[in-house]
C-alpha cells in the first residue's frame, strides 16, 4: 500500500514540478497516439466499409483476416517494421528507424485492424431496409458509405477509442522501432518500462498513474462525442438527396 502512495505522491510531484522532461514524454506520447490513430482511420474506415457493406467473393475471408489482425503481437509487428526500416533494408532510405515518425508508422499498422474490423462489424448491423431505401433513391457509393458511417457512428467511434487506447499504452513496437531514446522517442508507456527495469519503482508508478489518467481523459472526451451522436431521433433522415 505504501508503494501506491509513494507513486501517487511522486506523480503529483512530477506534474507540479515539471521540468520539461515530462512535457517532452507527454508530447511524444500524444503525437504518436493521435497521428497513428489518424493514419489507421484513413485506411481502416474505407476498408471496414468495403468489407462491411460489400458483397463480393472472398469477403468473408477478408473479414476473417481483419478479425485475426486484432490479435497481432505488438512486439512481432515492431520487429518486422524495424527490419524494413534499418539501413540497407527496403525502406531504410526513409530514415524512420529510431524516430517518432517510425513509431507512428508501427502503431498505425497495429491500430489498422482495430479500426477496420470494428467498423466492418458496426456497419454490418445497419438496417438493410435503410440502405435499400437509399439505393432506391439512386444514392451513389460515397453517399451509401456516408449513410452507413453515420448510422454506425457509435461503433465506429468505439473503434477509434480502441485504436487510440492501444497507441497510448503500447510498448513493444515503441521500443523496437523507436529505440526508447530518452527525451526523443520515449513515450509514457516505454518510460514506465525503463524506470521499473532500473529499479525506480516510485517513478515508474508515478508515470503509470499519469498514463492511466491520460487514457481516461482521452477516452472520456471521445465517449462524449460518441454518446452525443447516439441521441438522435429514431428513423431520422440522415441522408438528403433526390432521385434523378
Q: Three cell numbers at 33?
A: 497516439
Model confidence over 82-138: pLDDT tens digits? 999 998 899 999 999 999 999 999 999 999 999 999 999 999 988 888 888 888 887
Number of helices followed by number of strands (H, E) in the chain: 11, 0
pLDDT category of residue 6 using cuts at 50, 70 and 90: low
Model confidence over 32-77: pLDDT tens digits? 999 999 999 999 999 999 998 888 888 889 999 999 999 989 999 9
Give CA separation, 100 vs 32, 181, 222, in Å.
7, 10, 24
Give CA separation, 91 vs 43, 100, 107, 146, in Å.
20, 16, 17, 35
Cβ proximity of 194 and 180 under 8 Å: yes
* Mean pLDDT, residues 198-209 taken together: 82
List of residues 6+ apart from 175 with CB closer than 8 A = 78, 190, 193
Domains of the chain: 18-190 (1.10.3720.10)
Amino acid at each position: 500500500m505504501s508503494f501506491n502512495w509513494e507513486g501517487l505522491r511522486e506523480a503529483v510531484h512530477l506534474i507540479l514540478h515539471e521540468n520539461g522532461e515530462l512535457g517532452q514524454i507527454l508530447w511524444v506520447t500524444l503525437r504518436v497516439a493521435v497521428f497513428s490513430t489518424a493514419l489507421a482511420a484513413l485506411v481502416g474506415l474505407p476498408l471496414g466499409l468495403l468489407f462491411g457493406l460489400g458483397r463480393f467473393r472472398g469477403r468473408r475471408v477478408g473479414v476473417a483476416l481483419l478479425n485475426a489482425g486484432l490479435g497481432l503481437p505488438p512486439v512481432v509487428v515492431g520487429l518486422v517494421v524495424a527490419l524494413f526500416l534499418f539501413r540497407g533494408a527496403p525502406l531504410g532510405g526513409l530514415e524512420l528507424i529510431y524516430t517518432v515518425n517510425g513509431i507512428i508508422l508501427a502503431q498505425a499498422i497495429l491500430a489498422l485492424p482495430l479500426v477496420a474490423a470494428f467498423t466492418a462489424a458496426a456497419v454490418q448491423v445497419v438496417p438493410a431496409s435503410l440502405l435499400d431505401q437509399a439505393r432506391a433513391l439512386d444514392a451513389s457509393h460515397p453517399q451509401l458509405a456516408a449513410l452507413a458511417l453515420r448510422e454506425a457512428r457509435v461503433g465506429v467511434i468505439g473503434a477509434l477509442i480502441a485504436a487510440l487506447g492501444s497507441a497510448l499504452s503500447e510498448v513493444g513496437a515503441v521500443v523496437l522501432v523507436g529505440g526508447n531514446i530518452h527525451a526523443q522517442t520515449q513515450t509514457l508507456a516505454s518510460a514506465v518500462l525503463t524506470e521499473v527495469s532500473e529499479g525506480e519503482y516510485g517513478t515508474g508508478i508515478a508515470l503509470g498513474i499519469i498514463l492511466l489518467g491520460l487514457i481516461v481523459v482521452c477516452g472520456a472526451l471521445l465517449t462524449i462525442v460518441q454518446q452525443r451522436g447516439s441521441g438522435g431521433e429514431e428513423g431520422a433522415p440522415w441522408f438528403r438527396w433526390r432521385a434523378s
